């Protein structure tokens, strides 16, 4: 059995969770105040995901464009995703919510502009 400790980040209470694993199987989750903590621990261990926020180059402006994934993507795709976005070039004008990269690294998740640039 393996015990993994983590902090639930679903709400500001930040419960300290202890997850008991038997190989890949979750045996128990303790330390949670509500059942959302169990769901968080299961997701974090079985298929961890993260939102990605960064900037991309704008060829006709001096500033970078803040962008973000529309939803979380698998954590193991973050480095590949950053490589794609480091190579991405866009041209202003751009409106908030415009799709900058669609289906980022085959995740099915689009990267969108986080603000407008005239
Ligand atoms: S277990 Fe429940 S109460 Fe505790 S941090 Fe997570 S969501 Fe909040």
Residue 36 beta carbon below 6 angstroms from any ligand 1 atom: yes
> For position 24, what pLDDT does the model report?
86
pTM: 0.81
**Within a domain: 36:** yes
Residue 37 beta carbon below 6 angstroms from any ligand 1 atom: yes
32 and 61 both lie in a single domain:
no
Return the H-helix or E-strand segment holding 40: helix 35-46
Of the candidates 7, 1, 3, the one whose C-alpha atom is nearest the C-alpha of residue 32 is 7
Residue 76 CA neighbour count, 13 Å, CB half: 5
* Tokens of residue 45, six digits: 């261990």
Structural domains of the chain, count: 2
How confident is the model over 53-112, as pLDDT tens digits? 999 999 999 999 999 999 999 999 999 999 999 999 999 999 999 999 999 999 999 999
> For position 110, what pLDDT does the model report?
98
**Within a domain: 98:** yes
Query: Residue 51: what are its φ and ψ, rounded to 5°?
Result: -75, 150
43 and 57 both lie in a single domain:
no
16 and 66 both lie in a single domain:
no
First to last CA, the chain: 56
Residue 14 beta carbon below 6 angstroms from any ligand 1 atom: yes
**Within a domain: 118:** no
Q: Which domain holds residue 8?
A: 2-47
65 and 103 both lie in a single domain:
yes
């Amino acid at each position: 059995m393996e015990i993994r400790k983590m902090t639930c980040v679903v709400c500001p209470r930040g419960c300290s969770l202890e997850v008991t694993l038997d190989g890949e199987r979750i045996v128990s989750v303790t330390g949670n105040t509500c059942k959302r903590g169990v769901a968080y621990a299961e997701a974090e261990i079985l298929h961890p995901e993260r939102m990605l926020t960064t900037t991309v180059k704008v060829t006709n402006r001096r500033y970078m464009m803040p962008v973000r994934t529309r939803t979380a993507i698998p954590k193991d795709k973050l480095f590949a995703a950053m490589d794609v976005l480091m190579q991405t070039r866009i041209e202003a004008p751009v409106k908030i919510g415009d799709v900058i990269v669609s289906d980022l690294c085959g995740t099915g998740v689009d990267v969108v502009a986080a603000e407008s640039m005239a």
